[in-house]
C-alpha cells in the first residue's frame, strides 16, 4: 500500500515538474507577458486587431496588455521604453510608421524581446521576427480590375489616400494604379490624403467636388474614408452618379454594397492576423526560430455578386 502511495506521489511530482517547465511562467514564477501595441484605438478596425491579439495571448496562458500609440510615434517609443523596462516576453505590434517604428523594434530586439508585426509593415528584413500583413497590393489589383470594368474603361476619378507614412497606403494605391493606369481614358482628377479618417475624407471629397464637378468615381484607401466620401457625394445629390470604392471589409461598407451605396471593397481578416501573430509569438517563446520575415495574408474582393456571403448575418 505504502509502495503504491509512493509511486503515486512520485508520478504526481513528476507531472508537477513537467507541467511547471512547460507552462508560460517566467523564472520568478509569474505568468509570462505579451504586450499588444496598436497604432490607434480610435478606429474600430484596430480595436478588433488589438483585442483579438490580447484574447489569443490570454488563451495561450499569457498576461496581455494593450498599449494605444494614438497614431503618434513619440507615444509609441514611450510604450516600447516601458515594455522593455517591464521585461515583457513578446510584443505584438501594429506600427505607426514604416520607417520611424524600425528603431523601436530594434531596441526591443537588443533587449531580447521579440516583436511580431501585425497588419502594418516596418521597412526592415530582420528587426521583427516576422510580419503578418494583409496582401493589400493583390487586393487592390483585383479591385482595380473590377473598377475598370465598372467604369467601362473611361471616366474621371478621385483617389483618397490613407496615412502617407504607412506602407499599406502605398501598397493599396500601387496595386490599384498598376491596373487603372493602363487605361488612358480613366483620368485621376485629384489625389489627396485623409489619414484613414471618415470625417476628413468627407471634407476632402466635398472640397474636391467643388473644384471638379464631373467626377464618376472615388477610390478610398479604407472603408471609413469610403463612407465619409459617400456622405459627401450623398449631400451633393450625386449618389447615383459617383461610384464609391473602399478597402477593409468593414461592416457598414459591406452593408453599403448590399444596399447599392458602395460599389466594392476588399475584405481583410484582422482576427486571423492578430490571433496567428499571438500563436507565432508563443511558438517563438517555446523555442521555434523558423519564421519567414513576411507572411502576406490573402484578402477578398467583395462586390454585389458575392456580398451575401459576407454580410454580418451570414
Partner 1 sequence: MKKPIKYILGTLAVLLVLFLSFDIQKLDDYLAADTKVHFSAKDYAADFWENKLPAAISQAAPLLPLTNMLHNDPEKAFTDFGQKLGISGTWYFMVQGAGVIEAVEEENLLVTMNGEFQTRIATSFIFGNAIRDGSGAVNINEFLNMTDFNNVSIEINNLVRNNTVPILKENAKPGMKLQFAGAFEIKEDQIDVQSIRIIPVSVILSDGNKE
Instruction: Give me the residues that bind partner 1 (CB under 8 A), please.
Output: 98-100, 102, 121, 123-125, 132-133, 135-138, 141-142, 144-145, 167, 170-171, 174-175, 178-179, 272, 276, 292-298
CB of 155 to partner 1, least distance (A): 18
Spatial separation of the C-alpha atoms in residues 159 and 174, rounded to whole Å: 12
Nearer residue to partner 1 within complex by CB, 71 or 101: 101
Nearer residue to partner 1 within complex by CB, 171 or 193: 171
Which residues lie across from 302 on neighbouring strands?
265
User: Any idea what DSSP says for residue 215?
Assistant: -
CB of 228 to partner 1, least distance (A): 26
CB of 139 to partner 1, least distance (A): 11
Nearer residue to partner 1 within complex by CB, 63 or 272: 272
Paired sense of beta strands 186-193 and 217-220, if any: unpaired
CB of 204 to partner 1, least distance (A): 24
Q: Could you tell me if 106 and 129 are in contact, meaning their C-beta atoms sit under 8 angstroms apart?
A: no
What is the Cα 105 distance to its own chain's centre?
Answer: 18
Question: Residue 266: how many CA atoms within 13 Å on its side-chain side?
Answer: 25
Question: What H or E segment, with its residue span, contains residue 161?
Answer: strand 155-161
Nearer residue to partner 1 within complex by CB, 89 or 248: 248
Nearer residue to partner 1 within complex by CB, 166 or 197: 166
Nearer residue to partner 1 within complex by CB, 150 or 174: 174
Question: What H or E segment, with its residue span, contains residue 36?
Answer: strand 33-38
CB of 171 to partner 1, least distance (A): 6
How many helical (H) and strand (E) elements, i.e. helices and strands, does the chain have? Answer: 10, 12
| φ and ψ at residue 240, rounded to 5 degrees | -85, -15
CB of 289 to partner 1, least distance (A): 14
Amino acid at each position: 500500500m505504502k509502495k503504491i502511495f509512493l509511486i503515486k506521489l512520485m508520478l504526481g511530482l513528476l507531472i508537477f515538474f513537467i507541467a511547471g517547465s512547460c507552462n508560460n511562467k517566467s523564472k520568478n514564477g509569474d505568468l509570462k507577458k505579451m504586450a499588444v501595441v496598436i497604432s490607434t484605438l480610435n478606429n474600430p478596425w484596430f480595436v478588433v486587431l488589438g483585442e483579438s491579439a490580447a484574447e489569443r495571448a490570454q488563451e495561450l496562458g499569457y498576461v496581455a496588455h494593450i498599449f494605444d500609440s494614438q497614431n503618434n510615434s513619440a507615444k509609441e517609443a514611450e510604450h516600447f521604453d516601458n515594455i522593455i523596462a517591464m521585461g515583457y516576453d513578446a510584443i505584438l505590434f501594429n506600427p505607426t510608421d514604416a520607417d520611424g517604428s524600425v528603431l523601436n523594434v530594434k531596441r526591443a530586439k537588443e533587449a531580447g524581446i521579440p516583436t511580431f508585426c501585425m497588419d502594418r509593415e516596418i521597412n526592415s528584413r530582420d528587426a521583427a521576427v516576422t510580419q503578418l500583413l494583409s496582401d493589400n497590393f493583390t487586393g487592390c489589383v483585383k479591385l482595380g480590375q473590377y473598377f475598370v470594368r465598372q467604369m467601362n474603361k473611361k471616366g474621371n476619378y478621385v483617389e483618397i489616400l490613407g496615412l502617407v507614412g504607412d506602407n499599406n497606403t502605398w501598397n493599396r494605391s500601387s496595386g490599384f494604379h498598376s491596373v487603372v493606369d493602363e487605361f488612358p481614358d480613366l483620368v485621376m482628377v485629384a489625389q489627396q490624403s485623409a489619414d484613414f479618417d471618415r470625417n476628413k475624407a468627407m471634407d476632402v471629397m466635398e472640397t474636391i467636388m467643388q473644384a471638379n464637378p464631373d467626377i464618376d468615381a472615388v477610390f478610398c484607401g479604407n472603408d471609413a474614408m469610403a463612407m465619409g466620401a459617400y456622405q459627401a457625394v450623398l449631400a451633393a445629390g450625386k449618389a447615383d452618379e459617383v461610384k464609391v470604392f473602399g478597402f477593409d471589409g468593414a461592416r457598414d461598407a459591406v452593408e453599403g454594397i448590399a444596399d447599392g451605396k458602395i460599389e466594392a471593397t476588399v475584405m481583410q481578416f484582422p482576427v486571423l492576423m492578430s490571433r496567428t501573430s499571438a500563436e507565432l509569438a508563443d511558438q517563438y517563446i517555446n523555442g521555434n526560430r523558423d519564421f519567414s520575415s513576411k507572411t502576406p495574408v490573402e484578402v477578398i474582393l467583395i462586390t454585389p455578386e458575392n456580398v451575401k456571403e459576407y454580410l454580418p448575418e451570414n
